[in-house]
Chains A and B, each alone.
Chain A
Amino acid sequence: MKAGVGQVSDLLSPGPGIQLTEQQIKDAFFQTRSAANALDRRTEFVDQLVRERWAWMPKGISLVAVGGYGRRELFPYSDIDLLILTPDEKTQNAIKDPLSMFLRDLWDKGLRISQSVHTPADCNQIDATNAELAVSLLDRRFLAGDESLFRQIKDPRAELGRNIAELTKERHNRFQNTIYHLEPNVKDAPGGLRDLQVLRWFARLGAADGQMTPVFPDEIEVLFEIRCFLHYLAGRDDNKFSFERQDEIATLMGAVSPEDLMRRYYLAVRGISRLANRRLESFEAKRSSLFSQFRDRTSRLSNSDFSIVHGEVYFRSSTAIQTDPKVVLRLFEFLAHHDLPLATAAEERVQQGLEVFGTWIESHQPVWPAFRSILRQPHGPKALRAMHDCGALQTIFPELHEMDALVIRDFYHRYTVDEHTLVAIQTVLALRSKPGDMFADLAAESDDLDLLATALLFHDVGKGSPDEGHVEVSRRIAESALKRVGIDERDWGMVSFLIGSHLEMSAMMNGRDLSDPVTHREMASKTGTVERLKLLTLLTYGDISAVNPSAMTPWRKQLLWKLYSQTYTELTRELTARIHQPDIAANPALVQFLEGLPPRYLRTHSEEEIGKHLRMEREGGHRGVQVSLRKSAAWILTVVAGDRPYLFSATAAALSSFGFNILKAEAFSNARGTVIDTFSFADPARNLDLNPGEKDDVVRTVTRAIRGEITIDNLLRRRPKIKPDPHAIAASRVNVDNQASAAATLIEMTAQDRPGLLYDVSAVISKRCANIEVVLVTTEARKAIDVFYVTKIGAKLKDEEAKDLADAILAVIKPAS
C-alpha cells in the first residue's frame, strides 16, 4: 500500500511555517505532557495543510485519511496515511501528474506521506493480498474531493477479523508472545498500541461474541505519552523503549525511577494484552468446529452457582457475589478443578464485587482451608493466575500489591516480580505432568505442593521493600498474611522454612563444591527432613526457571539435581542415628519417651503430635494398643503400642482388608519398646466419608489385629481381589544396602502399587524374625517406593540373610501373571 514517492524528500527542508507549528505543539506537550492534545493539534494542522493543497487537484476524485491519521491519532513522527480514491483505473493515469505534484509539495513541507491510490471496488474486495488496506480502511475519514466516491466504500465484513487475527498472531510471534521485554516496542509489542487498536477493530467488526468497545483511559494515557516522548527524543518514528529512553522519559514524566516508570508501563500493557489474547482465543474458538464440540460438552458441568456457555464460566445470578460473597472462592475452585476460562462478563462481575468480597473475608476468616483447596486442584496454578488477574487474590492478600508489576531492572530478570511468581508456581506444578523429567518424580510424590505454591506466592513479595535482604522481609509479610487467613502451625512451619531458605540451594549450587561431603552435610542440616529438601529443591527449580525463559539450562538442572540427590542420601543415612540430647529437657516424661527415637521423628512431628503420642503411650500402658484415626488431606491412622511381632504388618493387613490404599507409612520405636506407626491412606470408595460409624470399625479392627484377636488370614479373606494390572509399568526391584546406615540394613523396593502390597512385604520381613526399625513408604503415581530399615537381634543382617530377604520380597511384589 505504501508506494512511497521517494525517501529523497527527507532531505528537503521543511517549510518555515510548518516547522513553527510543529515546534509549538512539541513545546506545549513538554509543558503539559498531554499527548491527547498534541495528537489532536497535529491532526488538525495536517488536515488543514492537506486540504489546502488538494484545492488544485482535478474534480471527481476523493482524498481519504486512513490508519492512525484517519482516527486522529497522529504521533509526532508517524507517517500520514492517505488514500486517493478514483472512480476507475483509467482516471488513475490521468491524475498521475497533478497527484505527484500534490505529494511532492507535502513532502517538501516536511510531512512524511504514505499514500495509495484505489477505486472503491478495490477497497470493497478483501482477500489475503490486500488485508492491510482493508484494515486501514476501518479508520477511514473523508478529507476532501468527491464525497460520493468515499460513500461507496462499504463497511468491511466480519471475515476481516480473520485477517486481523492472523496478522496479530504473526506480530505476537515476532515478540515471543510476551509483554515482558526489557526494551519493549510500545507500538508493536504484545499489549502495545497496536493491540489496543486490534481490540477496537474487533469491536467494530463484532467479530467476537458480544464485545463492547474497550475503554482503557489510563492505559491509553500512559502509552500515548511514552510514544510521544519517544518520537520527540529520537526525532523520528522510533518506538523502541530502550534503557536509555527509559532513563530520560522517567525524568521527563516525573517518575520516581525508571523502574517506577516501567511498572506503570507493564500495568498498562498487561490489561490490554490480556483482553487482546482473550479476543483472539474466542475468535479462534468460534472457527474451530472440533473445539466447539468439546466446548459444548463442557456445558454439562454447569451447577447451581455457575453455568458454562461456549466453554466459558458465567455466574448464574447477576447478584451472586452480593448475596453470597463466598461464591468467589467456589468460582476459582471450580475453574481450578475443570480447567475452564472465566467469561469476560463474569470477570467483570468479580471485579465489581471485590469490595463486598473483601468485607466478607474480614469477618469470615479463616479462608485458608478454602484457599488451600483451590491450590490443591489439578489446575490450581491457572486459577491462581485468574484470581490475580481480576484482583481477587490481592483482595485476600492485599500484601501482594507490593509486587504488582514490580520491575527488577537487570539483564537476567525478564519478568516483573508478580509475573515471575506466577511463572514459578506454574513451572513447578506443571512438572507433575512431565514424566521423564528428573524433577517430575519429586513433584509427583510430594503431598504439600499447595504449601510450596503458597511459599512461592510470597517468596519475593519483600523485593519492593527498601530494607536490605528481601528474604526476611518476604517471610515476615507472609507470616502476617497467612496467619490472618488462619494457616495452622504445621503448615506455616513449612512455608516459613521455604521462604526463609529460598536462596540457599542456588547459593550452594553456584558457590560450593558439590562433590564435597561438607556441602551435603550442611545442606542436610539446613533442610532437616527429606520432605523439606524435596520442596526446597522444587522451589529452587521454579524460582530459577522463572527468571527468564532460558535460565534453567540442562547444566543448571544437573547441578541442582546433584545437590539434591547428595543431600537426600545424607539425610536418609541420618535416619537411624538416635536422638541423644533432646532439647525438650523441661519435661522429663517427654525426655524418656523420646529416648531412642531418631531425629527424623522430632522433625516430622509437631509438639502437639508428640504430646498426643506420649498421652497415647501412657493411656495404653506397657502392653496396650492405642489407635487413632483422623482426616487431613488423606486419612491418617496412628498406632502407639508396645512392640510385638507382626505389629506393622497386622496394621497394614487390617487397613487393606477395608480396601484402603496405603500412601505413606512410617514406623518408629523408642528405647523402651514403644512403637509409633503412622499410616496415611486413601479411601477410594469413600466408605469413611459416607458411613460415620465405619471409623470406629476401622479402629476396632486394627486394634484387634494387632492384639492377635483376629488372624491375618481372616482379614485377608476380606481383602478385595487383586486383578493384575495390564498397564503395570513399574518394574519390580529390590535393593539391599548394608553400608548406608550404621545400625540397620536398608531394603529399598520399587513395585507397582496395589492394595495389600505393604502387608505382603512387611509380613515377609516379620516371618524372617527381622525387626522393622523405620519404614518410609511413598507412592508416586501408581508406583510404591518403600524403604525399610531392618535389624535382627539389634544388629544389621548378615549379607547372605539380607540377600535372601531381598529375594523373598521380590517374589511377593512381582505382579501376578
Chain B
Amino acid sequence: MKKIEAIVQPFKLEEVKEALKNIGIDGMTISEVRGHGRQKGHKEVYRGQEYNVDLLPKVKFELVVLESRLDEVLDTIATAARSGRIGDGKIFVFDVIEAIRIRNGDRGDAAV
C-alpha cells in the first residue's frame, strides 16, 4: 500500500478528480491548502503598489492505493494536473504500514 499526496493548482481540482474516477479510484481526501514551492511566491501589483504573495492557494489530494496500481494513478494525476507552467505542484509517495476499516475491522489491502 502506498499513500499519495498530490499538491495541485486549484483549477485542476475537478479535472484530477474526474480522471481518478475514470480509472476507478473513488476514495480520496481533498483539502484547501496554502503554501509555496521553490518559486517562494511572487509579487503582484495592485494600484501601482507591489504586494508579496508568499503563500499560494493549492489543493491537496490524499489517497492510499495498492502498490500494483501506483504507477497508473501517479500518471493519471500528473497528466490531469499539468498545465506546463510554474506552480503546477508536486506529488509525494509514502509507504503505508497498515490500513484498518473502522466499520468492520478489515485490515491491509482489503481495507483500501
Tell me the smallest distance from the CB of A456 to a CB of chain B, in Å.
25
Q: Interface with A: B20-28, B46-54, B66-74, which one?
A: B46-54
Is B106 at the interface (CB under 8 A from chain A)? no
Chain B nearest CB from A735 CB (Å) reads: 4
Please determine whether B44 and A514 come into contact, CB atoms closer than 8 angstroms.
no
Is there an interface contact between B85 and A513, defined as CB atoms closer than 8 Å? yes
Are B14's CB and A510's CB within 8 A? yes
- Kindly report which residue of chain B lies nearest to residue A511, judged by CB atoms: B11
Does A91 interact with chain B (Cβ within 8 Å)?
Answer: no
Q: Which single member of A510, A553, A556, A569 contacts B45 (CB below 8 Å)?
A: A569
Within residues 30 to 67 of chain B, which ones have a CB less than 8 A from any CB in chain A? 32-34, 44-49, 53, 56-57
Residue of B with least CB distance to A568: B46
Residue on A nearest B51 in the bound complex, by CB: A565
Q: Establish whether residues A565 and B14, one from each chain, have CB atoms under 8 Å apart when the complex forms.
A: no
Asked if A515 and B48 make an inter-chain contact with CB atoms under 8 angstroms apart, the answer reads no
CB contacts (< 8 Å) of A740 on chain B: these are 48
Option from A554, A558, A748 in Cβ contact (under 8 Å) with B48: A748
Q: Are A515 and B85 in contact (CB under 8 A)?
A: yes
Whether A737 sits at the interface, judged by CB under 8 Å, is yes
Q: Say whether A735 contacts B46, CB under 8 Å.
A: no
Residue of B nearest to A559 (CB): B57
Given that A555-B34, A555-B57, A559-B57 are contacting pairs, would A514 and B11 also be in contact in the complex, using a CB cutoff of 8 Å? yes
B14 touches A511 (CB 8 A): yes
The answer, yes or no, to whether A562 is at the interface (CB within 8 Å) is: yes
Residues of B within 8 A of A509 (CB): 10
The answer to whether A797 has its CB under 8 Å from any CB of chain B is no
Interface string of A716-745 (1 = CB under 8 A from B): 000000000000000001010100100000
Smallest beta-carbon distance B74→chain A, Å: 22
**Which residues of the other chain, A, contact B14 by a CB distance below 8 angstroms?**
510-511
Task: Indicate if the CB atoms of A553 and B11 lie closer than 8 Å.
Answer: no
Residues from chain B with Cβ under 8 Å of A562 in the complex: 44, 53, 57
Is A565 within 8 A of B48, CB to CB? no
B83 in contact (CB, < 8 A): yes
A564, chain B: closest CB distance, angstroms: 9
Q: Is B80 an interface residue (CB 8 A)?
A: no
- Closest B residue, CB atoms, query A747: B48
Quote the shortest CB–CB distance from A255 to chain B (angstroms): 33
A485 at the interface (CB under 8 A from B): no
A512 at the interface (CB under 8 A from B): yes
Note all chain A residues with C-beta closer than 8 A to B56: 558
Tell me, in angstroms, the Cα distance from A143 to B83 when the chains sit together: 78
Complex contact B44–A558 (CB within 8 A): no
Contact residues, A534-591 vs B (CB, 8 A): 553-556, 558-559, 562, 565-566, 568-569
A512/B34 contact (C-beta < 8 A), A562-B44, A565-B46, A568-B46 known: no
**Can you name the residue of chain A whose Cβ is closest to the Cβ of B46?**
A565
Indicate if the CB atoms of B46 and A512 lie closer than 8 Å. Answer: no
CB distance from A781 to the nearest CB of B (A): 16
- Of the four ranges (under 10, 10 to 19, 20 to 34, 35 or more), the interface on chain B belongs to 20 to 34
- A746 in contact (CB, < 8 A): yes
Q: Which has the most chain A C-beta neighbours within 10 Å: B11, B13, B46, B56?
A: B11
Q: Does A758 have its Cβ within 8 Å of any Cβ on chain B? A: no
Chain A neighbourhood of B10, CB < 8 A: 509-510, 514, 559
A511 neighbours in B (Cβ, 8 Å): 11, 14
> With A515-B87, A555-B34 given, is the CB distance from A510 to B48 under 8 Å?
no
Name the one of B13, B49, B83 contacting A510, with C-beta atoms under 8 angstroms: B13
Taking the closest CB of chain A, its distance from the CB of B82, in whole angstroms, is 12
A443 close to chain B: CB less than 8 A: no
Q: Nearest residue in B to A556 (C-beta to C-beta)?
A: B32
Complex-state Cα separation, A512 to B13, whole angstroms: 10
**In this assembly, does A499 line the interface, its C-beta being within 8 Å of a C-beta of chain B?**
no
CB of A663, distance to nearest CB on chain B (Å): 18
List the A residue with the shortest CB-CB distance to B31: A555
Complex Cα spacing A510 to B53, Å: 19
Whether A735 touches B11, Cβ cut-off 8 Å, given contacts A553-B32, A555-B32, is no
Query: Are the CB atoms of A746 and B48 closer together than 8 Å?
Result: yes
CA distance A568 to B45 in the complex (A): 10
Interface contact A558-B34, CB-CB below 8 Å: yes
Q: Is B76 an interface residue (CB 8 A)?
A: no
Q: Is A111 an interface residue (CB 8 A)?
A: no
Chain B residues whose CB sits within 8 angstroms of the CB of A431 once the complex forms: none
Q: Given contacts A511-B14, A515-B85, is CB(A735)–CB(B57) below 8 Å?
A: no
Tell me the complex Cα distance, A363–B3, Å.
70
* Residues in A whose Cβ lies below 8 Å from that of B48: 735, 737, 740, 746, 748, 787
CA distance A467 to B9 in the complex (A): 34
Q: Is the CB of A785 within 8 A of B11?
A: no
- 1/0 per residue, CB under 8 A from A, across B1-25: the answer is 0000000011101100000000000
Closest chain B CB from A265 CB (angstroms): 32
Q: Separation in Å of the A65 CB from the closest CB of chain B?
A: 45
Chain A 767-793 interface residues, beta-carbon cutoff 8 Å to B: 785, 787
B46 and A569 contacting across the interface, CB-CB below 8 Å: yes
CA distance A513 to B56 in the complex (A): 13
Minimum distance in angstroms from B30 CB to a CB of chain A: 12
Min CB distance, B49 to chain A, in Å?
6
Residue of A nearest to B85 (CB): A515
Interface contact A558-B57, CB-CB below 8 Å? yes
Instruction: Collect the chain A residues with CB atoms within 8 Å of residue B85's CB.
Output: 513, 515-516
CA distance A515 to B12 in the complex (A): 13
Chain B minimum-CB-distance residue to A734: B48
In the complex, what residue of chain A is closest to B88 when comparing beta carbons?
A513
Within the assembled complex, what's the spacing in Å between the Cα atoms of A559 and B32?
11
Given the complex of chains A and B, what is the CA–CA distance between A317 and B85 in angstroms? 70
Nearest-neighbour CB distance to chain A for B86, whole angstroms, equals: 8
User: Complex: how many Å from CA A1 to CA B90?
Assistant: 61
Within the complex, the shortest CB–CB distance from A416 to chain B, in Å, comes to: 26
B32–A512 CB distance below 8 A: no
Complex contacts, B45 vs chain A, CB 8 Å: 569
Note all chain B residues with C-beta closer than 8 A to A787.
Answer: 47-48
Q: Closest residue to B59 on the A side, CB-wise?
A: A555
Closest chain-A Cβ to B79's Cβ sits at a distance in Å of: 16
Assembly CA distance A559 to B55 (angstroms): 12
> Could you tell me the distance between the alpha carbons of A509 and B14 in the complex, rounded to whole angstroms?
12
Assuming A510-B14, A513-B83, A515-B85, is B32 touching A785 (CB within 8 A)?
no
Alpha-carbon distance A737/B46, docked complex (angstroms): 12
A737 to B9, CA, bound (A): 31
Closest partner residue, chain B, to A746 (CB atom): B48
Cα of A511 to Cα of B18 in the assembled complex, Å: 13
- Asked if B11 and A510 make an inter-chain contact with CB atoms under 8 angstroms apart, the answer reads yes
A residues whose Cβ falls under 8 Å from a Cβ of B: 509-516, 553-556, 558-559, 562, 565-566, 568-569, 733, 735, 737, 740, 746, 748, 785, 787
Q: List 25 A-B contacts (CB under 8 A).
A: A509-B10, A510-B11, A510-B14, A512-B11, A513-B83, A513-B85, A515-B87, A555-B32, A555-B33, A555-B34, A556-B32, A558-B34, A558-B57, A562-B44, A562-B53, A562-B57, A565-B46, A569-B46, A735-B49, A740-B48, A746-B48, A748-B47, A748-B49, A785-B47, A787-B48
Known: A510-B10, A510-B14. 13 other contacts (CB 8 A): A509-B10, A514-B11, A515-B85, A515-B87, A555-B34, A565-B44, A566-B44, A735-B49, A737-B48, A740-B48, A748-B47, A748-B48, A787-B48
Rank and list the top 5 A-B pairs by shortest CB-CB distance, nearest first. Answer: A748-B48, A735-B48, A555-B32, A565-B46, A558-B57
